[in-house]
């Protein structure tokens, strides 16, 4: 007899699905089966009934367990039988959290309808939870129609907060990179151990903290010209228990006090010109940074960088000692920055 299994949906930054699929294959005990992307930013998979979702996944925003309800519309979830089942599912989800949730939220297309309002009120009252001001809270579920077939799906988040919200971040810093994107950047630059890894324009050190998580023997150097960013980077690294791993350098990344030809891997998450910097600053910064990265890089170095200034970046690269190996556009809260993977023009492949 086939073992019982449950279906899950992982939410991912659109454009990074392949990283999540790779990580799910690698990390999940006994490997989940039938991993498939269902639409941009969403991947579904199954786990045996006695397995739980690995909350140390680095490339996903959140994972939801999918429950199918044979109801024609959300209003029917208020009927006694379905409502009792829904409460049972939610109580079980809440029990699996490390501490009891205090808040909850329900999202659905047509979220503002009277029926959704009633469902939220009835559920929160029955569970003794506050409805969260942000619409999500700790115990969070989404209602959706299945892509095929009848009924409705209730997708219940398997964690009290998104997995992508890292504990090492004491507070939100404008411009700090989504940690799942930082993790994906470190997976592009897969190399043998004991590499010299440089993060130019390192900000709060998200990329190197994520890098340190999978590469314990690399030498990591963060360079930023903002004292506050370096201070917060140090603080985050300490909270992540990586402070001994990351050397923080307060310096201009276009003239870094580092030896030529020293870096195996270079990362840069450049100012987009929205939260941080301006387009005019970037016009000067991008070519200068590519030039300096070219000086610092070993002949076969890999340079992974993220930028929202696509045209400026294309111009700067074509005038530099770097060439593009791949480009991936991602969807970051409605912005569409691109991940560039560069190798030196002179590199032998
Ligand atoms: C988009 S933020 C990087 C965010 C970072 N990935 C994080 O997760 O916090 C860009 C960073 O570039 C830095 N920066 C801008 N111009 C620089 C320069 N010339 N030298 C060094 N750092 C610079 C800014 O201080 C800022 O921290």
- Which pLDDT tens digit goes with each residue over 184-243? 999 997 778 789 999 999 999 999 999 999 898 999 999 999 999 999 999 999 999 998
Cα of 181 to ligand 1 centre, how many Å? Answer: 16
Percent of the chain predicted with pLDDT > 90: 80
What is residue 170's predicted lDDT score, i.e. its pLDDT? Answer: 86
pLDDT tier for residue 110 given thresholds of 50, 70 and 90:
confident
What CATH number labels 179-344?
3.40.50.150
Pocket test for ligand 1, best of 175, 183, 335 (most atoms within 8 A of CB): 175
pLDDT tier for residue 290 given thresholds of 50, 70 and 90:
very high
Cα of 177 to ligand 1 centre, how many Å? Answer: 10
pTM for the predicted model, two decimal places: 0.93
Query: Which residues, judged by CB distance below 6 Å to any ligand atom, belong to the binding site of ligand 1?
Result: 175-177, 201, 203-204, 206-207, 223-226, 229, 252-254, 269, 271, 276-277, 285
Cα of 48 to ligand 1 centre, how many Å? Answer: 43
pLDDT tier for residue 112 given thresholds of 50, 70 and 90:
confident
What is residue 1's predicted lDDT score, i.e. its pLDDT? Answer: 47
Which atom of ligand 1 lies nearest, measured to the CA of 173? 9
Which atom of ligand 1 lies nearest, measured to the CA of 233? 9
Cα of 167 to ligand 1 centre, how many Å? Answer: 21
pLDDT averaged over every residue in the chain: 93
Which atom of ligand 1 lies nearest, measured to the CA of 232? 9
Pocket test for ligand 1, best of 171, 174, 203 (most atoms within 8 A of CB): 203
pLDDT tens string 256-277: 999 999 999 999 999 876 556 6
Residue 92 has which token pair?
């079980």
Cα of 37 to ligand 1 centre, how many Å? Answer: 33
pLDDT at 154 over 60: yes
pLDDT tens string 300-313: 999 999 999 999 99
Percent of the chain predicted with pLDDT > 70: 95
Cα of 168 to ligand 1 centre, how many Å? Answer: 19
Chosen CATH of 5-157 out of 3.40.309.10, 3.20.180.10, 3.90.1300.10, 3.30.2130.30: 3.30.2130.30
What is the mean pLDDT of the segment spanning 98-106? 96
Cα of 246 to ligand 1 centre, how many Å? Answer: 16
Return the residue whose CA atom lies nearest to atom 15 of ligand 1. 201
Cα of 349 to ligand 1 centre, how many Å? Answer: 30
What is residue 106's predicted lDDT score, i.e. its pLDDT? Answer: 97
Cα of 250 to ligand 1 centre, how many Å? Answer: 11
pLDDT tens string 2-59: 578 899 999 999 999 999 999 998 866 566 668 999 999 999 999 888 888 888 899 9
What is the mean pLDDT of the segment spanning 175-180? 95
Return the residue whose CA atom lies nearest to atom 10 of ligand 1. 271
Which atom of ligand 1 lies nearest, measured to the CA of 203? 27
Pocket test for ligand 1, best of 202, 212, 237, 268 (most atoms within 8 A of CB): 202
Return the residue whose CA atom lies nearest to atom 25 of ligand 1. 226
What is the mean pLDDT of the segment spanning 278-283? 84
Q: Delimit the domains of the chain by residue range.
A: 5-157, 179-344
């Amino acid at each position: 007899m086939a073992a019982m299994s449950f279906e899950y949906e992982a939410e991912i930054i659109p454009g990074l699905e392949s990283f999540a699929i790779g990580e799910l294959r690698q990390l999940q005990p006994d490997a989940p089966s039938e991993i498939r992307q269902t639409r941009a930013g969403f991947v579904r998979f199954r786990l045996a009934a006695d397995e739980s979702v690995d909350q140390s996944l680095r490339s996903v925003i959140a994972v939801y367990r999918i429950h199918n309800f044979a109801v024609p519309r959300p209003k029917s979830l208020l009927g006694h039988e379905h409502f009792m089942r829904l409460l049972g599912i939610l109580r079980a989800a809440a029990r699996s959290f490390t501490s009891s949730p205090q808040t909850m939220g329900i999202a659905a297309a047509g979220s503002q309808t009277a029926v959704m309002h009633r469902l939220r009120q009835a559920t929160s009252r029955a569970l003794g939870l506050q409805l969260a001001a942000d619409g999500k809270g700790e115990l969070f579920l989404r209602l959706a129609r299945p892509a095929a077939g009848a009924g409705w799906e209730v997708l219940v988040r398997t964690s009290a907060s998104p997995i992508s919200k890292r504990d090492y971040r004491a507070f939100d810093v404008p411009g700090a990179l989504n940690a799942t994107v930082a993790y994906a950047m470190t997976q592009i630059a897969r190399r043998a151990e004991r590499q010299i890894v440089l993060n130019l324009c390192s900000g709060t050190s998200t990329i190197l903290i994520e890098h340190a998580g999978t590469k314990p023997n690399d030498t990591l150097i963060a360079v930023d010209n903002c004292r506050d960013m370096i201070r917060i980077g140090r603080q985050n690294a300490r909270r992540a228990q990586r402070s001994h791993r990351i050397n923080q350098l307060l310096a201009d990344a276009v003239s870094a006090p580092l030896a030529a030809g020293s870096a195996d891997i270079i990362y840069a998450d450049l100012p987009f010109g929205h939260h941080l910097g301006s387009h005019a600053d970037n016009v000067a910064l991008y070519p200068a940074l590519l030039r300096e990265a070219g000086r610092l890089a070993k002949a076969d170095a890999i340079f992974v960088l993220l930028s929202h200034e696509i045209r400026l970046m294309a111009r700067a690269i074509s005038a530099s000692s770097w060439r593009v190996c791949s480009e991936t556009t991602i969807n970051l809260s409605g912005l569409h920055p691109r991940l560039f993977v560069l190798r030196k023009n002179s590199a032998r492949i």
